[in-house]
């Protein structure tokens, strides 16, 4: 099989529109029914929902967990209500590739195997690492199936600069996760 992959010279939100367009196109070609995106403000999720409006596809927004930046803040309730009103499911939970291990690193300077996995995935770029991670988070929340391929979008900081076709897996079966295709990714830091 031959297909186009989009490579961005630099990661970041300036790539969001092109990443979303390529995602919706590939979802249509493959008959994908679930698209997951990382979005802390909901903007990327809203843009994805709008771009995929003509398709019967579920959009899932995975956001930071409370305490990620300190404090108990999560996506404001008004924004969550806006997303839900547009049919977007929201997942707010512990990050699959850090969780309690982040606390061990912060307290003792020790890096455990889960964070080592995260660092390994980052060799493909922050966005690809995020896309892999949120697919497991969405699977654990019951927001996407593990029995069929989905598309997952991640970004470097804000927006979306990476998209993968993935067979998601729950965290307790993480090694069953399979990246099937790269749709887009940022090449460098």
Higher pLDDT, 69 or 31: 31
The answer to whether the CB of 67 falls within 8 A of the CB of 150 is: no
Q: Using the predicted structure, report yes or no on whether residue 104 has a pLDDT greater than 70.
A: yes
pLDDT at 114 over 80: yes
Is 43 a member of any domain? yes
Task: Report pLDDT digits (tens) over 8-37.
Answer: 999 999 999 999 999 999 999 999 999 999
pTM over 0.85: yes
pLDDT band at 67 (very low <50, low <70, confident <90, very high): low
Within 13 Å and on the Cβ side, how many CA atoms surround 141?
Answer: 21
* DSSP code for 64: P
Alpha helices, DSSP H, located in the chain: 16-30, 43-51, 77-85, 99-108, 113-121, 126-140
Question: Do the domain assignments include residue 82?
Answer: yes
Whole domain around residue 171: which residue ranges?
6-186
58: enclosing H helix or E strand: strand 58-63
Averaged confidence pLDDT in the chain: 92
CB-based contacts of 17: which residues, under 8 Å, 6+ apart?
47
CATH of the domain at 141: 3.40.1380.20
């Amino acid at each position: 099989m031959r297909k186009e992959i989009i490579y961005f010279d630099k990661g970041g939100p300036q790539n969001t529109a092109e990443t979303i367009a390529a995602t919706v196109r590939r979802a249509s070609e493959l008959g994908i029914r679930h698209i997951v995106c990382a979005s802390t403000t909901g903007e990327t999720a809203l843009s994805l929902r709008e771009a995929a409006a003509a398709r019967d596809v579920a959009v899932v927004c995975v956001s930071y967990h409370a305490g990620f930046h300190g404090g108990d803040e999560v996506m404001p309730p008004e924004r969550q209500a806006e997303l839900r009103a547009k049919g977007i499911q929201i997942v707010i939970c512990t990050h699959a590739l850090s969780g309690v291990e982040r606390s061990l690193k912060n307290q003792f300077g020790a890096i455990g195997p889960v964070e080592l996995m995260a660092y390994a995935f980052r060799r493909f770029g922050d966005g690809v690492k995020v896309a892999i991670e949120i697919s497991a988070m969405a699977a654990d929340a019951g927001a996407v199936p593990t029995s069929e391929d989905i598309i997952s979008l991640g970004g470097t900081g804000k927006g979306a600069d990476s998209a993968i076709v993935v067979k998601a897996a729950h965290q307790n079966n993480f090694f069953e996760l399979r990246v099937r295709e790269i749709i887009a990714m940022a090449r460098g830091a």
